Amino acid sequence: MVPNAVQSPVCLSKSLSRMVDDAIPLRFARYFDDYHGGKAKLTNDGQTAVLTLGLQPALQPCIAGGPLDGVYLFEQLHFHWGPNDSHGSEHLIEGVAHAMEIHLVHYNAKYGSFRKAMERSDGLAVVAFLVHARGTVDCEDFLRITRELQHIVLPGSTRHAPADCMRWLAAQDLDRHYFSYRGTLTTAPFFASVTWIVYAAPVYVSHNQTAAFRMLRTFAGHCATEPASATRRIESNFRPVQPSEPAVTFARNTRRRMQAKL
């Protein structure tokens, strides 16, 4: 952990943020095609569900623009949740928690790898979406992920992900209405290397879809009364809000989306 760094997550508020109208759009490239030829994998790593694409850097999805200086390549996507749908997101917006939070983790292309980038102050960019659970009607696009979770219940298990597993992202308004600030990873070693981009509008899914994540299991630990193979459910894996007060901007409106290649 870096001393005096702005620890993440934090509580975000429009009234405490610097409003930016005419901001440079945040551009997403190679996210919306069935591009990965069956190489995408969903893994239970014992802490969360992790989606990786298994692509060479030249083919990886990437982001640029917005608060970022340079191109950031996709590394992985993972999820945070709580014991029920009243809380589980890491960031709060206007003091309100949501059921889950999705993190799209990227690293600065100029450093060549995630491992090298994570220790640099401008090394990482995490795009976060809060997830709101409501009703019984599933989000069809999000089903491409949640229906695969039953196959990775045990820690260490892996499942090939559908070719269109990122389709849920295309339904989001990616041009505007996001907070950004400089902070840290929310898991150890908490490097102060992250530009956070947190969208204000949540992703809407059903209660059944969030419950599917709480069925995933991790190892129970090394209790003398339990076998080494014993597991327990991952009922909660979010870091609480930290007592930090970062300089936050809110992109309220952006310029016309640019179509230039990244």
Q: Please give the residue range of the domain that contains residue 108.
A: 11-251
- Residue 57 is assigned to a structural domain of this protein: yes
- Residue 111: the pLDDT is 98
- Residue 81: the pLDDT is 99
- Residue 144 is assigned to a structural domain of this protein: yes
Tens digit of pLDDT for each residue in 227-252? 556 899 999 999 999 999 999 999 98
Q: Which domain CATH number covers 80?
A: 3.10.200.10
- Residue 57: the pLDDT is 86
Tens digit of pLDDT for each residue in 132-176? 999 999 999 999 999 999 999 999 999 999 878 888 998 898 888
pTM to 2 decimal places: 0.93
- Residue 257 is assigned to a structural domain of this protein: no
- Residue 261 is assigned to a structural domain of this protein: no
- Residue 5 is assigned to a structural domain of this protein: no
- Residue 6 is assigned to a structural domain of this protein: no
- Residue 4 is assigned to a structural domain of this protein: no
Tens digit of pLDDT for each residue in 51-108? 999 888 888 999 999 999 999 999 999 999 999 999 999 999 999 999 999 999 999 9
User: What is the DSSP secondary-structure string of the chain?
Assistant: --TT---S--EE-GGGSEEESSBPPEEEES-SS--STT--EEEE-SSSEEEE----GGGS-EEEETT-SS-EEEEEEEEEE-SBTTB--SSEETTB--SEEEEEEEEEGGGSSHHHHTTSTT-EEEEEEEEEE-SS---TTTHHHHTTGGG--STT-EEEPPTTTTHHHHTS--SS-EEEEEE--SSTT--S-EEEEEEEEEEEE-HHHHHHHTT-EEE----TTS-TT-EEE-----PPPPS-----EEE--BPSPP----
Q: Domain count of the chain?
A: 1
